[in-house]
Structure 1
Amino acid sequence: MTPERPDPVIPAPVPGPPVPAAPTATYRLQLQPEFPFAAAEAAVPYLASLGVSHLHLSPVLEAVPGSTHGYDVVDHARVRGELGGEEGLRSLAGTAREHGLGLVVDIVPNHMAMTPRHNHALWEVLREGPASPYAHWFDIDWEAQGGRLLLPVLGGPLGAEIGHLKVDGDVLRYYDQVFPLREGTEKLPLPRLLDAQWYRPAWWRLARTELNYRRFFSISELIGVRVEDPEVFAATHAKILELLRDGVVEGLRIDHPDGLADPDAYLRRLHEATGGRWTVVEKILADGEPLPAAWPVAGTTGYDALRQVDGLFTDPAGAGELLGQYRRFAAVQADRGGHWESTVRRAAYKVVTHELATETDRLTRVASRLCAGSEDLALRDRAPWALGSALRELLVRMEVYRPYPSTDAASIVTGAAADEARTAFTVPEEARAVDVVRDLVLGRAGEGPAGAEFRARFAQTSSALRAKSVEDTAFYRYQPLLSANEVGGNPGSPAVSPDDFHAYCARVQRDWPAMGTVLSTHDTKRSGDVRAALSVLTQCPERWADVLAEVTRAGTGVPDPQLAWAAWQTLFGLGPAAEERLQGALLKHVREAGLHTAWTEQEPAYEEAVAAFVAEGPCGSPGRLVTDLRTSLALHVRANVLGAALVHLTMPGVPDVYQGTEAEYLALVDPDNRSPFTPAEQPSEKTELTTAALRLRARRPTAFGDAATYTPLSAEGPAAAHCVAFARSGEVLTAVTRMSLRLARAGGWRDTRLPLPAGRWTDVLTPGRKFTGHARVEELFETLPVALLERVGEGGPESG
Structure 2
Amino acid sequence: MTRMTPDHHGGEVPAPPTATYRMQLQPSFPFAAAAGAVPYLASLGVSHLHLSPVLEAVPGSTHGYDVVDHARVRDELGGEEGLRALARTAREHGLGLIADIVPNHMASAAGLNRPLQEVLRDGPHSPYAHWFDIDWEAQDGRVLLPVLGHRLSHELDHLEVDGRVLRYYEHAFPLREGTETLPLPELLDAQWYRLGWWRLARTELNYRRFFTISDLIGVRVENREVFDATHEKIVQLLREGVLDGLRVDHPDGLADPGGYLKDLADAAAGRWTVVEKILGEDEQLPAAWPVAGTTGYDALRRIDGLFTDPSGAAELLGLFRRFTAAPADRGGDWDATARRAAYKVVTHELAAEVDRLTREAGRLCAADAALRDHAPRALRAAVRELLVRLDVYRPYVTGGADPESVLTPGDAEDAKGVFTVAEEAEAVDTVRELALGRCGSGPEHEAFRARFAQTASALRAKAVEDTAFYRHAPLLSATEVGGTPQSPAVDPESFHAYCARVQRDWPYTGTVLSTHDTKRSADVRAGISVLTQCPGRWADLLADVTERAAGEGGASAPDPQLAWAAWQTAVGFGDRDGERLQGAMLKHVREAGLHTSWTEPDADYEKAVRDFVTAGPCGPPGEAVTAFADSLRPHVRANVLGAALAHLTMPGVPDVYQGTEREYRALVDPDNRAPAHFDLELLERLDSDEGTAPGELPHELSGDLSDEKLALTVAALRLRWAHPEWFGGESTYEPLAARGAGAAHCVAFARSGEVVAAVTRLSLRLAEAGGWRDTELPLPEGHWVDLLAPGREFTGHARVDDLFTRLPVALLVRAQPVERAASAATSGRGPHQR
1:14–1:274 CA contact under 8 A, matched in 2: no
2:30 is aligned with 1:31: no
Q: 1:512 aligns with which of 491, 506, 510?
A: 506
Residue 339 of structure 1, CA deviation: 1.0
Q: Which residue of 2 aligns with 1:674?
A: 673
Q: Which residue of 2 aligns with 1:8?
A: none
Residue 378 of structure 1, CA deviation: 3.0
2:777 is aligned with 1:785: no
Q: Which deviates more, 457-466 or 547-556? A: 547-556
1:14–1:244 CA contact under 8 A, matched in 2: no
2:546–2:556 CA contact under 8 A, matched in 1: no
Map Cα deviations across residues 72-96 of structure 1 (whole Å, 9 max, x no partner).
0000000000000000000000000
Matches within 5 A, 1:123-162: 123-162=117-156
Map Cα deviations across residues 534-555 of structure 1 (whole Å, 9 max, x no partner).
1100000010000111111121
Distance in 2, matches of 1:416 and 1:265, equals 30
Distance in 1, matches of 2:723 and 2:465, equals 38
Q: Which deviates more, 680-689 or 621-630? A: 680-689
Amino acid at match of 2:371: L
Distance in 2, matches of 1:236 and 1:423, equals 45
Q: Which residue of 1 aligns with 2:556?
A: 557
Q: Which residue of 1 aligns with 2:642?
A: 643
2:84 is aligned with 1:90: yes
2:397–2:437 CA contact under 8 A, matched in 1: no
Distance in 2, matches of 1:340 and 1:20, equals 44
Map Cα deviations across residues 46-67 of structure 1 (whole Å, 9 max, x no partner).
0110100000000000000000
Amino acid at match of 2:811: L
Query: How many aligned residue pairs are there?
Result: 786
Please state whether the residue corresponding to 2:360 is helix, strand or coil: helix
Map Cα deviations across residues 746-771 of structure 1 (whole Å, 9 max, x no partner).
11111111011011111111122111
2:56–2:73 CA contact under 8 A, matched in 1: yes
Q: Which residue of 2 aligns with 1:627?
A: 626
Q: 1:382 aligns with which of 344, 351, 374?
A: 374
1:14–1:241 CA contact under 8 A, matched in 2: no
Map Cα deviations across residues 685-742 of structure 1 (whole Å, 9 max, x no partner).
1111100000010111111000110000011111111100000000000000001111
2:617 is aligned with 1:594: no
Residue 15 of structure 1, CA deviation: 7.8
Q: Which residue of 1 aligns with 2:163?
A: 169
Q: 1:405 aligns with which of 387, 397, 419?
A: 397
User: Per the alignment, do residues 32 and 16 of structure 1 end up closer, same or farther by CA in structure 2, a change over 3 Å counting?
Assistant: farther
Distance in 2, matches of 1:798 and 1:115, equals 52
Please state whether the residue corresponding to 1:338 is helix, strand or coil: coil
Amino acid at match of 1:775: A
Distance in 2, matches of 1:47 and 1:387, equals 55
1:264–1:404 CA contact under 8 A, matched in 2: no
Q: Which residue of 1 aligns with 2:733?
A: 710
Q: 2:299 aligns with which of 305, 308, 325?
A: 305
Q: Which deviates more, 404-413 or 517-526? A: 404-413
Distance in 1, matches of 2:8 and 2:178, equals 45
Cα RMSD between the aligned structures? 1.4
Q: 2:388 aligns with which of 384, 387, 396?
A: 396
1:792–1:798 CA contact under 8 A, matched in 2: no
Residue 628 of structure 1, CA deviation: 1.1
Residue 797 of structure 1, CA deviation: 3.4
Distance in 1, matches of 2:593 and 2:668, equals 17
Please state whether the residue corresponding to 1:242 is helix, strand or coil: helix
Residue 799 of structure 1, CA deviation: 12
Map Cα deviations across residues 530-580 of structure 1 (whole Å, 9 max, x no partner).
001111000000100001111111212210000000000010010123111
Distance in 1, matches of 2:173 and 2:452, equals 32
Distance in 2, matches of 1:799 and 1:149, equals 62
1:14–1:245 CA contact under 8 A, matched in 2: no
The sequence identity of aligned pairs, in percent, is: 72
1:731–1:790 CA contact under 8 A, matched in 2: yes
Distance in 2, matches of 1:95 and 1:16, equals 28
2:311 is aligned with 1:317: yes
Amino acid at match of 2:44: L
Residue 446 of structure 1, CA deviation: 2.9
Please state whether the residue corresponding to 2:820 is helix, strand or coil: coil
Amino acid at match of 1:32: Q
Residue 297 of structure 1, CA deviation: 0.3
Please state whether the residue corresponding to 1:774 is helix, strand or coil: strand
Please state whether the residue corresponding to 1:473 is helix, strand or coil: helix
Distance in 2, matches of 1:673 and 1:71, equals 16
Map Cα deviations across residues 362-418 of structure 1 (whole Å, 9 max, x no partner).
0000000000111xx331100011000001000000010111232311112111110
Q: Which residue of 1 aligns with 2:787?
A: 764
Residue 242 of structure 1, CA deviation: 0.2
Q: Structure 1 stretches of 5 or more lacking a match? A: 1-12
Please state whether the residue corresponding to 1:773 is helix, strand or coil: strand
Distance in 1, matches of 2:529 and 2:341, equals 25
1:590–1:598 CA contact under 8 A, matched in 2: yes
Please state whether the residue corresponding to 2:345 is helix, strand or coil: helix
Q: Which residue of 2 aligns with 1:733?
A: 756
1:14–1:273 CA contact under 8 A, matched in 2: no
Q: Which deviates more, 440-449 or 419-428? A: 440-449
2:422 is aligned with 1:423: no
Q: Which residue of 1 aligns with 2:496?
A: 502
1:393–1:421 CA contact under 8 A, matched in 2: yes
Map Cα deviations across residues 3-41 of structure 1 (whole Å, 9 max, x no partner).
xxxxxxxxxx99862111100000000000000000000
Please state whether the residue corresponding to 1:152 is helix, strand or coil: strand
Amino acid at match of 2:612: F
Distance in 2, matches of 1:799 and 1:186, equals 73
User: Per the alignment, do residues 184 and 685 of structure 1 end up closer, same or farther by CA in structure 2, a change over 3 Å counting?
Assistant: same
Distance in 2, matches of 1:127 and 1:336, equals 46
Q: Which residue of 1 aligns with 2:691?
A: none
Distance in 1, matches of 2:362 and 2:300, equals 42
User: Per the alignment, do residues 799 and 685 of structure 1 end up closer, same or farther by CA in structure 2, a change over 3 Å counting?
Assistant: closer
Please state whether the residue corresponding to 1:402 is helix, strand or coil: coil
| TM-score, length of structure 1 as denominator length | 0.97
Distance in 2, matches of 1:798 and 1:158, equals 69
Map Cα deviations across residues 582-603 of structure 1 (whole Å, 9 max, x no partner).
1111000000001101100111
1:16–1:275 CA contact under 8 A, matched in 2: no
Q: Which residue of 1 aligns with 2:657?
A: 658
Amino acid at match of 1:520: S
Q: 2:339 aligns with which of 330, 345, 350?
A: 345
1:311–1:495 CA contact under 8 A, matched in 2: yes
2:342–2:460 CA contact under 8 A, matched in 1: yes
Q: Which deviates more, 236-245 or 766-775? A: 766-775
Distance in 1, matches of 2:380 and 2:489, equals 38
Distance in 2, matches of 1:380 and 1:147, equals 26
Q: 1:365 aligns with which of 326, 335, 359?
A: 359
1:531–1:573 CA contact under 8 A, matched in 2: yes
Map Cα deviations across residues 137-162 of structure 1 (whole Å, 9 max, x no partner).
00011111111110000000000011
Amino acid at match of 2:96: G
Amino acid at match of 2:820: P
Map Cα deviations across residues 408-429 of structure 1 (whole Å, 9 max, x no partner).
1111211111010010101111
Distance in 1, matches of 2:718 and 2:444, equals 54
Distance in 2, matches of 1:535 and 1:795, equals 35
2:513–2:521 CA contact under 8 A, matched in 1: yes
Q: Which residue of 2 aligns with 1:239?
A: 233
Q: Which residue of 2 aligns with 1:776?
A: 799
Please state whether the residue corresponding to 2:780 is helix, strand or coil: coil
Distance in 2, matches of 1:15 and 1:70, equals 34
Map Cα deviations across residues 215-245 of structure 1 (whole Å, 9 max, x no partner).
0000000000000000000000000000001
